[in-house]
Amino acid sequence: MDLYQAIRERRSIRKYKPDPVPEAVVLRVLDAANWAPSGVNLQQWKFYVVAGGKRDQIAASYGRMTEQNYPPAGKRTEQQETFLQWAKTYGGAPLIIVATMPREELQPRRHKMHLESVAAAFQNLLLAAYAEGLGTCWMTGPLADEANLGTILNLPANEEIVALTPLGYPDQVVQEKPRHDQHLREKVVWLE
């Protein structure tokens, strides 16, 4: 698949088929993530591929968190109800990929370097997944419950979560959201 086409057509998917994703495909996608550039070539990303009961625990955590911020059942808007279903199930995705980076307190510049490296790998992951016919949704909202997620994943104390994404075959077609300033008049500054 052409790179520009993948960049342009990838969308955040919030509804998935239950079909399993072959391990070889998951590994191809994570290999693409592993080829990202990284600060000092530290390749400081780590990926947790979460399935089965652990996946359900992660989804329950997001559901609980979302429910806490919403009015009680019966008083929610349709939009809130739809979002809650998405949160509780991650749209039915069979897998959740959690990306982590080293936790280094008191070193803000290295923190930035680690974060940017893992973000680069994560975007590679999203694009490779799209090329494989898979759906993803870059998510940081669920990190509001990061401590509990860390417990579910048995995360070592020296790792912190950067983002997670459901991974599975899409069960929806998502319209593209127009980008602001499409002609790049405000977002790009040319200097000489």
| Chain residues in the site for ligand FMN (CB under 6 A) | 11-12, 137-141, 174, 177
CA pair distance 130, 170, nearest whole angstrom: 10
Q: How far is the CB of 52 from ligand FMN (least distance, A)?
A: 23
Q: How far is the CB of 175 from ligand FMN (least distance, A)?
A: 9
CB nearer to ligand FMN: give 3 or 24. 3
CB nearer to ligand FMN: give 176 or 192. 176
CB nearer to ligand FMN: give 120 or 174. 174
CB nearer to ligand FMN: give 25 or 115. 115
| Amino acid letter, residue 92 | G
Q: How far is the CB of 24 from ligand FMN (least distance, A)?
A: 26
CA dist 133 to 20, 63, 129, 165, 168, Å? 13, 27, 6, 15, 9
What is the distance between the terminal CA atoms of the chain, rounded to a whole angstrom?
36
CA pair distance 51, 39, nearest whole angstrom: 30
Closest CA to 102 of 34, 36, 43, 32: 43
Q: How far is the CB of 50 from ligand FMN (least distance, A)?
A: 16
Q: How many CB atoms are closer than 10 A to CB 87?
A: 24
Position closest to ligand FMN via CB? 141
